[in-house]
């Protein structure tokens, strides 16, 4: 079900990854450019190099499908795929980064802080985001009932919950709903557009590894668990109710 079918349910669907390390990564010109060139050979459309205040980035054009990006900061390497047609294409950049980044950027197994995988869903919506989310997932709950006051409107509703598990609690999973202000976002064509309500499922494996080859195995574990949670939990209990609440409110 992952891929095109999820894009049909939301404005944007994306899969992001983060490899966090404990010591600062090398930021020399040659080191980073050699790494980016290696990635560009695998993904030729990623040919736009950008330098920001705290990161160096390589990305494909925004119009590319999927839009891919890669960013190197002082203590992490992040990558993302926006609107991939399948999870296989969505994961391709991430696995390539895990296989190559440690060697180009001198990352050792002991240096690994955590590996993170995020599934993100944006739902375009105008109106009061917080009220929409509260109506969609908290209606009739004890929490919502605690503040049901006549004439009152919801101004804050961004639920987040996290759990840890494993023999050493080395795995973490977080689910978050992110609302935004009511000011319209200006689209690329200069016309106002609705800011999205976002739903994030974040999976994380904490701690060092014994061998760098474990990184891709960890990624597979996270992606398999993530796909199951998205299909059985996130879509039916969060995405669909919020999507329906947006439609009912007339703020699509």
d(CA 207, CA 109): 9
Residue-wise pLDDT for 16-48, tens only, equals 999 999 999 988 889 999 999 999 999 999 999
Global pTM reads 0.92
Mean pLDDT of 57-83: 95
Residue-wise pLDDT for 100-151, tens only, equals 999 999 999 999 999 999 999 999 998 999 999 999 999 888 988 888 887 7
pLDDT higher than threshold 90 for residue 173: yes
* Three-class secondary structure assignment of the chain: CCCHHHHCCCCEEEEEEEEEECCCCCCCHHHHHHHHHHHHHHCCCCCEEEECCCCEEEECCCCCCCEEEEEECCCEEEEEEECCCCHHHHHHHHHHHHHHHHHHCCCCHHHEEEEEEEEEEEEECCCCHHHHHHHHHCCCCHHHHCCCCCCCCCCCCCCEEEEEECCCCCEEEEEEEECCCCCCEECCCCCEECCEEEEEEEEEEECCCCCCCHHHHHHHHHHHHHHHHHHHHHHHHHHHHHHHHHHHHCCC
d(CA 97, CA 185): 32
pLDDT higher than threshold 90 for residue 195: no
Residue-wise pLDDT for 71-100, tens only, equals 999 999 999 999 999 999 999 999 999 999
pLDDT (0 to 100) of residue 147: 81
Mean pLDDT of 59-76: 95
Return the half-sphere exposure (C-beta side, CA atoms, 13 A cut-off) of residue 127.
Answer: 20
Mean pLDDT of 169-184: 86
The answer to whether the CB of 118 falls within 8 A of the CB of 15 is yes
CB atoms within 10 A of CB 63: 7
The sign of the dihedral angle between the CA atoms of 71, 129, 154, 241 is negative
pLDDT (0 to 100) of residue 49: 95
From the list 30, 33, 65, 63, the residue with the least C-alpha distance to 49 is 33
pLDDT higher than threshold 80 for residue 203: yes
pLDDT higher than threshold 80 for residue 184: no
∠ CA 235-90-76 to the nearest 5 degrees? 100
The pair of three-digit structure tokens given for residue 121, joined into one six-digit string:
């869903």
The sign of the dihedral angle between the CA atoms of 200, 201, 205, 206 is positive
pLDDT higher than threshold 80 for residue 219: yes
pLDDT (0 to 100) of residue 252: 66
∠ CA 42-79-246 to the nearest 5 degrees? 125
- Tell how far CA 133 is from the center of its chain: 19
pLDDT (0 to 100) of residue 7: 84
pLDDT higher than threshold 80 for residue 186: no
């Amino acid at each position: 079900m992952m891929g095109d079918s999820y894009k049909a349910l939301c404005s944007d669907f994306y899969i992001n990854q983060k490899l966090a390390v404990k010591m600062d990564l090398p930021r020399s010109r040659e080191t980073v450019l050699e790494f980016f060139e290696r990635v560009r050979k695998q993904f030729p459309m990623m040919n736009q190099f950008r330098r920001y205040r705290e990161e160096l980035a390589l990305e494909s054009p925004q119009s590319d499908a999927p839009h891919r990006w890669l960013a190197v900061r002082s203590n992490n390497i992040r990558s993302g795929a926006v609107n991939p047609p399948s999870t296989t294409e969505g994961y391709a950049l991430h696995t390539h980064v895990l296989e190559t980044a440690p060697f180009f950027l001198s990352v050792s197994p002991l240096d690994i802080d955590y590996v993170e995988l995020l599934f993100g869903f944006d739902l375009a919506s105008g109106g009061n985001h917080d009220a929409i989310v509260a109506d969609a997932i908290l209606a009739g709950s004890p929490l919502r009932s605690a503040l049901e006051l006549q004439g009152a409107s919801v101004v804050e509703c961004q639920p987040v919950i996290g759990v840890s598990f494993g023999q050493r609690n080395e795995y973490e999973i977080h689910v978050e709903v992110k609302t935004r202000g009511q000011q319209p976002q200006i689209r690329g064509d200069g016309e106002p557009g609705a800011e999205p309500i976002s739903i994030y499922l974040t999976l994380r494996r904490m701690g060092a590894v014994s061998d760098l080859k474990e990184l891709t195995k960890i990624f597979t574990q996270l992606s398999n668990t993530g796909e199951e949670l998205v299909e059985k939990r996130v879509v039916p209990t969060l995405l669909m109710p919020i999507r329906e609440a947006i439609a009912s409110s007339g703020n699509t």
